[in-house]
A = this chain, B = another copy of it.
Amino acid sequence: MTSSASVSYVALSGGVGGAKLALGLCDVLEDPGRLTVVANTGDDFEHLGLKVCPDIDTLTYTLAGLANSETGWGRAGESGAFMEALGALGGETWFFLGDKDLAMHVERSRRLRAGESLSAVTSELRARFGVRAHIVPMSDDPVPTIVETEEGPLAFQHYFVRERCRPRVLGFRHEGAAQARPSAGFLDALAAPDLGAVIICPSNPYISIDPILAVPGVRAALTACEAPVVAISPIIGGQAVKGPTAKMMAERGVAPSAAAIAEHYAGLIDGFVLDEADRDAAAVIAATGVVVEVTATMMTARADKQALARAVLAFAERIGAAG
């Protein structure tokens, strides 16, 4: 056991990559109930009249052991009878919702309309799935990510799924961020006196982590918190493990590298974890005052996720003890 059960942790996460590390953390923590995973909700959207929260869902399914590891989204052993019937009715089918997955969206939408907060619904549903870690939305207020592209602004899922990240990205807007407040669960977890670390998962910085940081008060809370803030690079050897991170960086004029990720989080992080493939960048990052850890960060097997989780927890403990 890497760390004491009396220490609590906060992880900021997007979808697939973040969920993998969150699963590793749940596996290696003595009490996964001490982990609060803060989900990006910038991807959330209203679709077919239903509230869909892709990152909350990926986290929930992954931590419940129900995720479809091949697609990276949705549930394993999923069927598509609904979608096929919807297509026959002329409905929108560009965003696949499996028959089982649909239960999540219908039940969530029903509860939200009945006046429950996204935090309450998310907590209740992850508990139903037997997930012990807390999953909290970054905010109960909507903060939809708008992707500014050469073809004009696009709602996130229109860019991401419908257009398959094809249009060249000019920037991102976090609509409604100015009026949003961090969720109570997020703030409470950051304020916990036994907080051991804030872990920025290896998620896309622009579309998974920045939306969380865009909520007023979050940056200040992270800066104020005594526990070390540690980020793990989603870029390995100049490539994104999954998704458009590298493409987006290049389009924004940033050479995709672990060092560029560390720079993106400059002023916010105390520690940075990068892959052995990027060992050369360690010195440059360390020169900025950030403590650097080099380890294997590719999470393919369950054991990889656990090993990275252990490495991150030990690293954070080391920084905490030093600071």
Contact = CB atoms under 8 A, between A and B. Distances in A.
Interface string A48-61: 11100000000000
Interface in A97-145: 98-104, 106-107, 109-110, 113, 124-125, 128-129
A82 interface: yes
Contacts of A100: 81-82, 84-85
A99 B82 contact: yes
B88 A128 contact: yes
Interface secondary structure of A, over-half rule: helix
Number of copies: 2
Interface in A225-245: none
A103 B128 contact: no
A14 to B, nearest CB: 23
A323 interface: no
Contact of A103 (B79, B89, B124, B129): B89
Contacts of A124: 90
A29 to B, nearest CB: 25
A318 to B, nearest CB: 41
A86 interface: yes
Contact of A85 (B50, B81, B91, B103): B103
Contacts of A99: 79, 81-82, 85, 99, 102
Given A49-B110, A110-B48, A110-B49, A102 B89 contact: no
Given A49-B113, A113-B49, A103 B125 contact: no
A109 to B, nearest CB: 5
Interface in A135-169: none
A111 to B, nearest CB: 9
Q: Which of A48, A103, A125 has the most CB of B within 10 A?
A: A103
A91 B107 contact: yes
Contact of A102 (B49, B78, B85, B104): B85
A54 to B, nearest CB: 17
Q: Which of A85, A88, A102, A113 has the most CB of B within 10 A?
A: A85
A110 B104 CA distance: 17
Contacts of A88: 103, 128-129
Contacts of A98: 81
Q: Which of A106, A107, A113, A128 has the most CB of B within 10 A?
A: A106
Nearest to A84: B100
Contact of A49 (B86, B109, B129): B109
A103 B86 contact: yes
Given A79-B99, A81-B99, A82-B100, 7 more contacts: A48-B110, A81-B98, A81-B100, A82-B102, A86-B107, A88-B128, A99-B102
13 contacts: A48-B106, A48-B110, A49-B109, A49-B113, A81-B100, A82-B82, A82-B103, A85-B103, A86-B103, A88-B103, A88-B128, A91-B106, A102-B102
Interface of A: 48-50, 78-79, 81-86, 88-91, 98-104, 106-107, 109-110, 113, 124-125, 128-129
